Structure 1
């Protein structure tokens, strides 16, 4: 039986946050699964879609 690699379990915790940096490229928007090592992605906060755009 195949499993869905994108399925959520009760042990997975996905969070998002704005990471303020001192770098000249501005703040970063970070999405991470804090239950797994190295499971994150980021982009410039100004380029992140707004909540309204996700609707």
Structure 2
């Protein structure tokens, strides 16, 4: 199966698609934020340093 020019939802893949996840590195949870439409467009930080959604609002 070949990849098409559109995502599953039908949005064009040239638009930024920002996602976040908590991943574990060296036994420590880290928040990772990435634009999955662009190579090497991500950042991470210790999860303990991240602001909760309710604090951010």
* Structure 1 length-normalised TM: 0.71
Match of residue 7 from structure 1: none
- Ranges in structure 2 where 5+ consecutive residues have no aligned partner: 1-11
- Root-mean-square deviation (CA, aligned residues, Å) is 1.3
Aligned residues: 44
Once the two structures are superposed, residues 3-48 of structure 1 have per-residue CA deviations (whole angstroms, 9 ceiling, x without a partner) of: xxxxxxx521000000023x14x11100000000110000001110
- Runs of 4+ in structure 1 over 4 Å off: none
Name stretches of at least 5 consecutive residues in structure 1 with no aligned partner. Answer: 1-9
Partner of 2:36: 34
TM-score by length of structure 2 reads 0.69
